Amino acid sequence: MPADAAAPVSHALIQNDIVVFGLIAATLGAVFWTSARTSGFWKRFYTFVPALLLCYLIPGIYNTVGLIDGQNTRLYAPIARDVLLPAALVLLTLTVDLKGMLKLGPKIVAMYLGASFSIMIGAVAAFLLFKWLHPATVAGDTWAGMAALAGSWIGGGANMLAMREVFQVNATTFGQFAVVDVGVGYVWMALLIFLAARAPAIDARSGADTSGLDALQERVARFQAEHERVASLTDLMLIVAVAFGAVGLSHAIAAPLAAWFGTNVAWASQFSLDAPFVWVVVIATTIGLGLSFTRARTLDGAGASKLGSLLLYFLIACIGMQMDLLALLDRPWLFALGLVWIGFHIVLLWALGRLLKVPFFYFAIGSQSNIGGPASAPVVAAAFHPALAPVGVVLGTMGYATGTYLAYVVGITLRALAGA
C-alpha cells in the first residue's frame, strides 16, 4: 500500500501548503496594515479587538468554513513548531534581561505552581460534578481521556501522549479529548490575548504591585533605544544565521540526546526527556540565554526581537488554523466538561492571584504556561509586552518536567473515583 494511502482525505478548497502559507502571510499583513490606521473605522475597531486575536481567529475561521485544512498541513508541524518556534525562542531570549526577570520574584513561580494544582483540583471537581449532573459524560473510560488532557494542560503534547500510553486510552476517547484540548484551550488563550490589552485597568482595580514588570519593560526599552540602528544586510544575515543556525544545532543535539535518555534512563519518559521536541525547546532557549551575555545581544538594535515576534505571529496563525469552531457543537457535554474544568482552574488561580496581589500578567502567564506550554505561552506574554516573551518561554518549558507526574496523579485519582 502506498505510504499516503492511509492519509485522511481533505475536502478543503485550498490543499496546497504553499498557497495556504501565502494566504496566512497575506492575512497577517492585512491585519497589521489595518491595525496601523490612525483614524476612521479601523482605529475604533482595534480599540476593542486586539490585532493578535485576529491573527489567531481568522485562520481558525478559514479552517472552520473549509477554505483550508488546518489539521492536515505541514505548516504547523514541522515548519512552525519545529523551525519557527525555536528560532523565535532564540531571538526573543537573545535580548532577555535575566537580572530583571529574577526581580519578578517568587510570586510568579507561585502562580505557575498554583495553575498546575488548580488544574489537578479542577479535574477532580469537574468529574464529580458531572458524575452527579450528567453521568453519561464521565462514563466508560472518560477518566482516562481526562488524564491525558491533564498531561497536555499541565505539560504539553509529549506529556499527553505519555498519559495515553500509561492509561491505555482508547483511540476514540483520546481523539475526542484532543479536540476538547484544542477547542477549550484555544478559546481560553484567545480570551487571555483579548484581556492583555486591559491589564492596566485590571491591575489598577485589584491594587496589584506592577513595579517589577514596569522596571523590566523600562530596562529593555532603554537597552533597545541605546542600540537601535538601521539594519544593514550584514545585520540581517547575522540575525538569520544566529536564529536558524541555533535551530539546526538544537535539532542535531535533541534527537540523539532524547534517544540516549530513552534507552539509558528509566524515568526519562516520566519527565518527557525521551521526546526530541522537548530538547529542541530547552536547547534553543539555553542558546538564546547564553547569547544574551555576549555582544550578540546588540543584534536587537537591528531588529532581532522584531523578527522573533514576526515568527511568533506566524506560529500563532498556524496554531489558530487548527481550530474548528463548529467542533464545539459536536460533543456539547464533553466540551461542557472541559469548560467546567478550566472554569475551576480560572477561579482558583484568580483567588490565589488576589491573595498574593499579583499583576494580571502573572495570572495569565501562569495559566497559559500550563494550558498552552512553550508554543503559546510566549505569544500570550508578548501580548502584554514583547520584553515579557522570554518569561513565557521559561515557564512554558517547566511543564514538561512536571506534567507527566502530576497528570499521573490526576489519572489514578479519577480512576479510583470512576471505580475502574
Q: Which residue has the higher pLDDT, 148 or 105?
A: 148
pLDDT at 249: 97
Distance between CA 50 and CA 364 in Å, rounded? 16
- Return the minimum-mean-pLDDT range out of 8-17, 31-40, 394-403: 394-403
pLDDT at 4: 43
pLDDT at 251: 96
One-letter amino acid of 201: A
pLDDT at 19: 95
Distance between CA 123 and CA 145 in Å, rounded? 11
- Return the minimum-mean-pLDDT range out of 19-23, 50-54, 158-162, 297-301: 158-162
pLDDT-derived band of residue 105, with 50, 70 and 90 as boundaries? confident
Q: In the numeric block, which cell numbers belong to residue 282?
A: 530547552
pLDDT at 383: 86
Residues 210-260: pLDDT tens digits? 777 777 777 777 776 777 788 899 999 999 999 999 999 999 999 999 999
Residues 157-173: pLDDT tens digits? 767 867 877 787 876 77
Residues 356-413: pLDDT tens digits? 888 999 999 999 989 987 777 888 888 888 778 778 877 877 777 677 788 889 988 9
Question: Which pTM value belongs to this model?
Answer: 0.70
One-letter amino acid of 207: G
Distance between CA 57 and CA 76 in Å, rounded? 15
One-letter amino acid of 122: G
Query: Does the pLDDT at position 5 exceed 60?
Result: no
Distance between CA 80 and CA 387 in Å, rounded? 21
Q: CB under 8 Å to 176, separation ≥6 — which residues?
A: 145, 331, 334
Contact 232, 302 (CB under 8 A): yes
pLDDT at 215: 77
Q: In the numeric block, which cell numbers belong to residue 37?
A: 490606521
Distance between CA 88 and CA 81 in Å, rounded? 10
Distance between CA 90 and CA 390 in Å, rounded? 9
Q: Which residues of 253-265 are buried (b: 16+ CB within 10 A; e: fewer)?
A: bbeebbeebeeee
Residues 36-94: pLDDT tens digits? 888 889 988 887 777 777 887 899 899 889 999 888 888 988 888 889 988 988 887 78
How many other C-beta atoms are found inside a 10 Å radius of the C-beta of residue 2?
A: 6
Query: Does the pLDDT at position 2 exceed 60?
Result: no
As a three-state string, the secondary structure of the chain is CCCCCCCCCCCCCCCCHHHHHHHHHHHHHHHHHHHCCCCHHHHHHHHHCCHHHHHHHHHHHHHHCCCCCCCCCCHHHHHHHHHHHHHHHHHHHCCCCHHHHHCCCHHHHHHHHHHHHHHHHHHHHHHHHHHHHCHHHHCCCHHHHHHHHHHHHHCCHHHHHHHHHHCCCCHHHHHHHHHHHHHHHHHHHHHHHHHHCCHHHHHHHHCCCCHHHHHHHHHHHHHHHHHCCCCCHHHHHHHHHHHHHHHHHHHHHHHHHHHHHHHHCCCHHHHCCCCHHHHHHHHHHHHHHHHCCCHHHHHHHHCHHHHHHHHHHHHHHHHHCCCCHHHHHCCHHHHHHHHHHHHHHHHHHHHHHHHHCCCHHHHHHHHHHHHCCCCCHHHHHHHHCHHHHHHHHHHHHHHHHHHHHHHHHHHHHHHHHHCC
Contact 88, 378 (CB under 8 A): yes
